[in-house]
Amino acid sequence: MTDISSLDPTTLATQMAGYDIQAAKNAATAQQTTLTTQTTNLSKLKTALTTFRSSLASLNTSTQGMLNNSATLSQSSVATVTTTSQANRGTYNLTVSQLASAQQTAYTGLTDDMMKQATGTLSLSVQGKSMSVDMSSVSSLADFADAVNQSSDNPGVTASLIKTDGKVQLMLSSDESGTANEIQLDTQQLDSQSAGAFAQGTQISAAQDAKVSIGSLALTSSSNKLDSLIQGVTINLQSVTAADTPLTLTVGTDTSGTQSNLQSFVDAYNTLRSVLDTQGSASGGNDGLVSSLTTTLNSQIRTQVNGLDMTSFGITSDKDGKLTLNSDTLKTQLAKNPQSINTFFNSQGLLNTLDKTMNSYLSTSQGVLQSRQAVLDRQQSDLTDRQDKITTRYNDAYNRYLSQFTRLKSSMQEMNSTLSSLLS
């Protein structure tokens, strides 16, 4: 009698169906491993390029480039000062005879009762822009202040309530300093009592311009912030200068800060190159892309601008493409021509060129990385379809084998039963 106790249709069906798809499954698994590696490396490359581009942007703003400048003042109480990369070295003597101020006027004669009884319209204007307040719509000083402050036509006036000696008073303030921002009131459409009260305002602060001179050159400014007097220098006035004691402003190169900026560029570039070197040696299919980018970067960092290249500022490249900075060479160039570093790196210089390269790879519309990712996505979609078909093929084979082995087991059981009967 044949022993069929070990015959398991499920196990046999699983084994046989597995044999049927083994080759296709191995090929799909290998392709999936490759696609996963390529996608992972592409993501790492995108992160590295994005980080590098951000580093470039921080060194190439509209006001701050690779060059750092510094400024000192002979009288810290008179002003504060900041500089940008565009500032040139120099010493300037400034006399400040008047600060700019905004108009502030208090109206002591106005009361809540007067507001409640007022009729007509009050117009307020600044630099030709005006607004009107319908006095019949307000019943208190607070209502009037809200009507002014909340108006969409407000020309640049703030109404506030101040309390002195237990009495609340209305104050109108110009939002900006300077004579051009003086507040003009038109009371012709007001009742006589209100018009008289508005006409009796007490000036707390006059609308006036700052007055500054550099030697025989005199100028006025509506603001105490002087950002166009000296290129790349912003002076914030705080007080006037004493007689015969001008404010001395000295602008110079911040060599340490400039070196720090340049070192930041060197470090960012070397970090990117490290990623490219890793990707190039084991990129899993992205090696052509990485090789092209590496070649482009090698060419761009060796560019010349006005006869200068990176070695002019102490930056050299080793055999692996990594950069190093020599501080002595940098200091020599900064002492000779500090603005040359901005000319080389900023504006339409090296940083802008590198940024355009980064954009060609990172652009979400036509970038190289996006195109590469689209290819990988299509390959992944095709592979997923293949894997689904392999799964379907496996299931069909499994069901077919299960049915066959189940029938075989049943037939063998019948044969063994018949044989047992004959032998007995």
| pLDDT tier for residue 409 given thresholds of 50, 70 and 90 | confident
Say if CB 305 and CB 341 are below 8 A apart: no
What is the edge-to-edge ordering of all strands in the sheet holding 90-98?
Answer: 69-73, 247-253, 90-98, 210-214, 217-221
State residue 17 phi and psi, 5-degree precision: -65, -35
Say if CB 154 and CB 129 are below 8 A apart: no
The larger pLDDT score, comparing residue 281 to residue 31, is at 31
| pLDDT tier for residue 6 given thresholds of 50, 70 and 90 | low
195 shares a domain with 63 = no
| pLDDT tier for residue 281 given thresholds of 50, 70 and 90 | low
267 shares a domain with 391 = yes
288 shares a domain with 310 = yes
- In the chain, the number of structural domains is 3
| CA-angle at 80, arms to 76 and 81, nearest 5° | 125
Helix (H) or strand (E) holding 198: helix 192-199
- Report the residue count for the chain: 424
11 shares a domain with 138 = no
Taking only the tens place, the pLDDT of each residue in 326-369 is 999 999 999 999 999 999 999 889 999 999 999 999 998 889 99
Taking only the tens place, the pLDDT of each residue in 111-143 is 999 999 999 999 999 999 999 999 999 999 999
The answer to whether residue 423 sits within a structural domain is: no
The answer to whether residue 420 sits within a structural domain is: no
The pLDDT of residue 7 is 76
241 shares a domain with 293 = no
Q: Which of 205, 226, 242 marks a domain boundary?
A: 205
237 shares a domain with 356 = no
The pLDDT of residue 305 is 86
| pLDDT tier for residue 284 given thresholds of 50, 70 and 90 | low
Say if CB 124 and CB 157 are below 8 A apart: yes
260 shares a domain with 244 = no
Per-state percent for the chain, helix, strand, coil, to nearest 5: 50, 25, 30
Q: Indicate whether 63 pLDDT > 60.
A: yes
Q: How many helices (H) and strands (E) does the chain have?
A: 10, 17
The answer to whether residue 392 sits within a structural domain is: yes
Write the CATH number for 154. Answer: 2.60.40
Taking only the tens place, the pLDDT of each residue in 369-408 is 999 999 999 999 999 999 999 999 999 999 999 999 888 8
Q: Which of 57-66, 285-294, 320-329 has the lowest mean pLDDT?
A: 285-294
What SS3 class is residue 242?
Answer: coil
The answer to whether residue 299 sits within a structural domain is: yes
The answer to whether residue 411 sits within a structural domain is: yes
222 shares a domain with 270 = no
The pLDDT of residue 280 is 64
For range 71-77, the mean pLDDT: 95
Taking only the tens place, the pLDDT of each residue in 148-176 is 999 999 999 999 999 888 889 999 999 99
183 shares a domain with 240 = no
Taking only the tens place, the pLDDT of each residue in 411-423 is 887 888 888 888 8
Q: Indicate whether 1 pLDDT > 60.
A: no
The answer to whether residue 393 sits within a structural domain is: yes
201 shares a domain with 340 = no
Q: Indicate whether 287 pLDDT > 90.
A: no
411 shares a domain with 332 = yes
239 shares a domain with 263 = no
The answer to whether residue 281 sits within a structural domain is: yes
Taking only the tens place, the pLDDT of each residue in 230-273 is 999 999 999 999 988 999 999 999 999 999 999 999 999 999 99
Which pair of structure tokens corresponds to residue 5?
């106790």
For range 78-88, the mean pLDDT: 94
Distance (Å, whole) CA 194 – CA 112: 11
Contacts with 100 (C-beta within 8 Å, 6 or more apart), sequence order: 177, 178, 208, 209, 210, 221, 222, 223, 224, 237
Q: Which of 227, 253, 279 marks a domain boundary?
A: 253
Please give the residue range of the domain that contains residue 373: 1-68+254-415
| pLDDT tier for residue 286 given thresholds of 50, 70 and 90 | low
Which pair of structure tokens corresponds to residue 125?
């204007």
Q: Any idea what DSSP says for residue 241?
A: P
The answer to whether residue 421 sits within a structural domain is: no
